[in-house]
Amino acid sequence: MDKLRIWGGCALEGEVPISGAKNSALPLLAACLLTEEPVTLHRIPQVRDIRTMQELLRLTGAEVHVDGAGAVRVCAARIARPEAPYELVKTMRASSLVLGPLAARTGKARVSLPGGCAIGARPVNLHIAALEQLGARVGQSHGYIEAAAPGGLRGALIHFDRITVTGTEDIMMAAALARGETVIENAAREPEVADLAELLNKMGARIEGAGTSTIRIQGVERLGGATHTIIPDRIEAGTFAIAAAITGGDLTLTGCIPEHLNALIVKLRQAGVEVTVPAEGSLRVRRAGALRAVDVTTEEYPGFATDLQAQFMALMTQADGIALITETIFENRFMHALELNRMGANIRVEGRQAIVAGPRTLTGAQVIASDLRASASLVLAGLVARGETVVDRVYHLDRGYERIEQKLVQAGARIRRES
């Protein structure tokens, strides 16, 4: 199992190119199952979750061709096995994104139940209830969700009890091939949902309102091939923005969409970090003075992303004062707090709140990451800690960050991967 060894104390400087969004690429790859024609997706990040999704598509019978420059061409001319096995779902919960497309395209789907993970229970009850409203019969046996819609799906009014990102995406894909109109209320407004709708519309779907809380979908009989470029990864960009801030550096992030990061930008500025947009598609983040503590509460987009909470917590260990961090999306997403404390932070967790008292001098230690974003927060802490930090279980980081240590080294960090 790989480890990252980090020698802290270097301010990061220079340019960092931002990769395509993992959480956009995953649903867009699943959407390729909706048509027998080829779909070409550009700017697919080369990360482990994407390789898992590609493997899943291949298992269904789709052909997946990956070229070196980040383009992936999928042709699901025939779906031989409309199934997502446990072996893949357990390593990547987003596998449940194939449930809607398989049910809509083939009239049946068998997808393993994901079970819990390090950040919470991760249920899929909302996906299932919505699919039932679209006319599918959904049952459960042997740890699998089994959906059947032999006569096809039909449009319906769906009102999600709570906002779900992949739930919205799953049902939007299913409804694209359902008979009649579907309205999704209380839909997720994440940019990744809008990106998916853009691809689906290029494939011939009729979707309006994606990116708002009400999405209208007029079902069509078939979808065709298309070519699309994935949006930049706002969570990767946010992680590097925090890297600049925590090290007292000066980074320009290129190829990003700054407005997708508005909630973070406001918090960084309140904390004393200078954030500017030097040109379209780039963001400059630098810090010369001291950091101030600011409170954050995670929310659905456009609120402060739960996927940046752990990284922001690392930053707050260096800020002057008490920062209150409230996690409202996942019930168990504070595992990094204990590891940060092992490095010298002063964080108290009380239920869904973490109280971070700073500034504290962090010292390098051997730490273990529990999930993808927790790993990123430990790397950030390592960049500013005295001495050597070893982050174990780097496979979590490899699920979602493309060439992270290379990008950090280019910006001046001292970091090495060890097998």
Q: Tell me which residues are annotated as active site.
A: 117
Per CB under 6 A, contacts with ligand EPU among 101-120 are 120
Of residues 104, 400, 407, 411, which one binds ligand EPU by CB under 6 A?
400
Selection from 18, 103, 92, 10 nearest residue 55 by Cα? 92
Identify which of residues 349 and 409 has a Cβ nearer to ligand EPU in the complex.
349
Identify which of residues 62 and 374 has a Cβ nearer to ligand EPU in the complex.
374
Instruction: With beta carbons less than 8 A apart as the criterion, state whether 214 and 197 touch.
Output: no
Beta carbon of residue 124, minimum distance to ligand EPU (angstroms, whole number) = 5
Instruction: With beta carbons less than 8 A apart as the criterion, state whether 315 and 245 touch.
Output: yes
123 binds ligand EPU (CB under 6 A): yes
411 binds ligand EPU (CB under 6 A): no
Beta carbon of residue 36, minimum distance to ligand EPU (angstroms, whole number) = 25
Beta carbon of residue 400, minimum distance to ligand EPU (angstroms, whole number) = 5
Per-position b or e across 257-281, b if 16+ CB within 10 A of its CB: bbebbebbbebbeebbbebeeeeee
Backbone angles phi, psi at 240, to 5 degrees: -70, -35
Per CB under 6 A, contacts with ligand EPU among 77-96 are 93-94
Neighbours of 215 (CB within 10 A): 25
Identify which of residues 239 and 389 has a Cβ nearer to ligand EPU in the complex.
239
Q: Which residues contact 66 (CB under 8 A, 6 or more apart)?
A: 44, 54, 72
187 binds ligand EPU (CB under 6 A): no
Stretch that binds ligand EPU, among 79-87, 160-168, 174-182, 205-213 (CB under 6 A): 160-168
Per CB under 6 A, contacts with ligand EPU among 11-40 are 23, 26
Q: Which amino acid is at 332?
A: N
Q: Which residues contact 312 (CB under 8 A, 6 or more apart)?
A: 242, 264, 267, 296, 304, 325
306 binds ligand EPU (CB under 6 A): yes
Half-sphere exposure of residue 49, counting CA atoms within 13 Å on the CB side? Answer: 27
> In Å, what is the CA distance from 255 to each residue of 16, 19, 20, 131, 283?
9, 8, 9, 36, 9
234 binds ligand EPU (CB under 6 A): no
166 binds ligand EPU (CB under 6 A): yes
Beta carbon of residue 105, minimum distance to ligand EPU (angstroms, whole number) = 20
Neighbours of 344 (CB within 10 A): 16
Number of H helices, E strands in the chain: 14, 24
Beta carbon of residue 369, minimum distance to ligand EPU (angstroms, whole number) = 12
**Total chain residues near ligand EPU (CB under 6 A):** 24
Helix residue spans in 147-292 (DSSP H): 165-176, 191-202, 234-247, 262-270
Q: Which amino acid is at 47?
A: V
Stretch that binds ligand EPU, among 121-129, 220-228, 252-260, 280-288 (CB under 6 A): 121-129
Beta carbon of residue 16, minimum distance to ligand EPU (angstroms, whole number) = 19
Identify which of residues 94 and 147 has a Cβ nearer to ligand EPU in the complex.
94
Beta strands at 321-326 and 296-297: parallel, antiparallel or unpaired: parallel
Of residues 159, 162, 206, 222, which one binds ligand EPU by CB under 6 A?
162
Of residues 329, 354, 381, 408, which one binds ligand EPU by CB under 6 A?
329
Radius of gyration of the chain (CA): 21
167 binds ligand EPU (CB under 6 A): yes
Cα 378 from Cα 339, distance rounded (Å):
8
310 binds ligand EPU (CB under 6 A): no
307 binds ligand EPU (CB under 6 A): yes
Per CB under 6 A, contacts with ligand EPU among 202-231 are none
Q: Which amino acid is at 329?
A: I
Of residues 373, 393, 396, 407, which one binds ligand EPU by CB under 6 A?
373
User: Which pair of tokens denotes residue 241?
Assistant: 């923005």
Identify which of residues 129 and 220 has a Cβ nearer to ligand EPU in the complex.
129
Beta carbon of residue 97, minimum distance to ligand EPU (angstroms, whole number) = 7
Of residues 81, 115, 116, 125, which one binds ligand EPU by CB under 6 A?
125
Instruction: With beta carbons less than 8 A apart as the criterion, state whether 145 and 114 touch.
Output: no
Stretch that binds ligand EPU, among 37-45, 164-172, 200-208, 264-272 (CB under 6 A): 164-172
Measure CA of the first residue to CA of the last residue in the chain; give whole Å: 6
Beta carbon of residue 126, minimum distance to ligand EPU (angstroms, whole number) = 3
Binding site for ligand EPU (CB under 6 A): 23, 26, 93-94, 120-127, 162, 164-167, 306-307, 329-330, 372-373, 400
